Amino acid sequence: MAADSQDFSRETSKPTPAVHQPNTSAQSEESVASFPATVWLRHADQFLLGSLLIVLLVLLIACRGKMSGWGQAEIEILSQQPREYYYAIDINRASWVEWAQLDGIGEVIARRIVDERQRHGPFQSIEDLRRVRGVGTKLIEKLAPFLTITDEEFKELR
């Protein structure tokens, strides 16, 4: 029985399990200090990097504003009235291509005018264009501002 009493005392002398207690401030500082440094930048480096990024962002916004004309007065562009070009041809020197540039005269009539001039001689006046088939009084009136005679001998007849 003495052995049994020793066994009993062993059973009763077993330590009781520890109850989990919350960390105190001293323990938490130790755990933070023993925590391995996994952050690749120190606080000073992070502050510097953040400051540089903010400065870069401000510079980008300022550059964009300057390029877009932000804060500047609009420029008023004064444009001229469209010009009307004066196109005149000499009826005794113009090729059929020049005649075809005039409104109301196509390639066929232009070739007829040049052929008539080559066969029967130069036109003495703008009214002589009526001898060409397809050219009438209305067409001559329409084209008169664009037709000239520059040969000296025919200039007086105009």
Domain assignment present for 61: no
> Quick check: is 10 in a domain?
no
Give the model's pLDDT for residue 74: 80
Residue 57: per-residue pLDDT: 97
Residues of the chain with pLDDT under 50: 155, 157-158
Give the model's pLDDT for residue 82: 81
pLDDT value of residue 158: 46
Single-letter residue type at 139: L
pLDDT at 66 (0 to 100): 85
SS (H, E, C) 79-140: CCCCCCCCCCEECCCCCHHHHHCCCCCCHHHHHHHHHHHHHHCCCCCHHHHHHCCCCCHHHH
- The residue segments making up the domain with residue 95 are 89-155
67: in domain: no
Q: Is residue 43 part of a domain?
A: no
Position 76 in a domain: no
Domain assignment present for 144: yes
Q: Quick one: tokens of 92?
A: 């005794």
Flag whether the pTM goes above 0.85.
no
**pLDDT tens track for 4-27:** 555 555 555 555 555 555 555 555
Q: How many domains are there within the chain?
A: 1
We report the CATH number of the domain holding residue 105 as 1.10.150.320
pLDDT of residue 30: 58
Residues β-bridged to residue 148: 90
In a domain, residue 131? The reply is yes
pLDDT at position 38, please?
56
2 lies in some domain: no
